Copies of this chain bind each other. A is one copy, B any other.
Amino acid sequence: MAIKDRKERDKLDRRKLIIESATKLFLEQGYEKTSIRNIADDIEYSPATIYLYFKEKDEIFYLIHEQGFDLLNKEFTNHNQIKDPYERLAELGKIYLNFALTNPDYYDLMFIMRAPLSEIKCHSKWEAGDNSFQYLLNTVTECLDQKLIVDGDPLIVSMSIWSYVHGLISLFIRERLQSVNIEGEQNPNLLIQSLEYFLKTLKV
């Protein structure tokens, strides 16, 4: 029976190999330019082999998509807990913004791209995403309870904050901020300044 076990391990190893290669290529050249044949070439298997381990291209990229959420959630958990919920909220925003600027490809896959959600979204319920949102929702609720920010429904407020930061990031990543380009001003700085303005308006 040991042989069967080893075989199963081997199979998982090859699955892992595909994911690792796909991740590497994805971070090097993005989703669209990473083809099944690219991955096959990289791991020195035939393209058809990949389909023995994954149903479709999107299934691989859904896993990378989840890796991204693990990374983001780790950043959220790793940061030392700030007592004041408003300060914590501000910090969350900055962590989120920083994550996006440091990992634009992950961010794109997680929050902008259409592809790897097509079918999977239904059965998976997008658990990882829910976790991140829960972090935000909890902090917002605390802020509202302590009357630190403008009153409103916690869900609406959380959605607003998320939308705001996402808006900044996605306009930046997809290069729509050309028109808003102050002479000599670096774009990432503009994003940080905007976030600070938003946090100010939020404060009660």
Contact status B174-A111, CB under 8 Å: yes
Segment 143-183 of A: residues with Cβ below 8 Å from B: 149-150, 152-153, 155-160, 162-168, 170-171, 174-180, 182
Q: Chain B residues with Cβ under 8 A from A177's Cβ?
A: 159
Which residues on B sit within 8 Å (CB–CB) of A174? 111-114
**B197 to A156, Cβ gap below 8 A?**
yes
Report B-chain residues with C-beta under 8 Å of the C-beta of A200.
150, 152
Partner of A170, one of B133, B167, B178: B167
Q: How far is the CB of A118 from chain B (nearest CB, A)?
A: 10
22 A-B residue pairings within 8 Å (CB atoms): A111-B171, A111-B176, A112-B174, A114-B174, A121-B178, A126-B179, A150-B197, A152-B200, A153-B197, A155-B180, A155-B182, A159-B168, A159-B190, A160-B164, A160-B168, A160-B197, A160-B198, A163-B167, A163-B194, A166-B167, A166-B170, A170-B170
Question: Can you add 11 more A-B contacts, CB < 8 Å, to A114-B174, A163-B167, A201-B201?
Answer: A126-B179, A152-B200, A153-B193, A155-B180, A156-B190, A156-B194, A159-B177, A159-B194, A160-B168, A164-B198, A166-B170
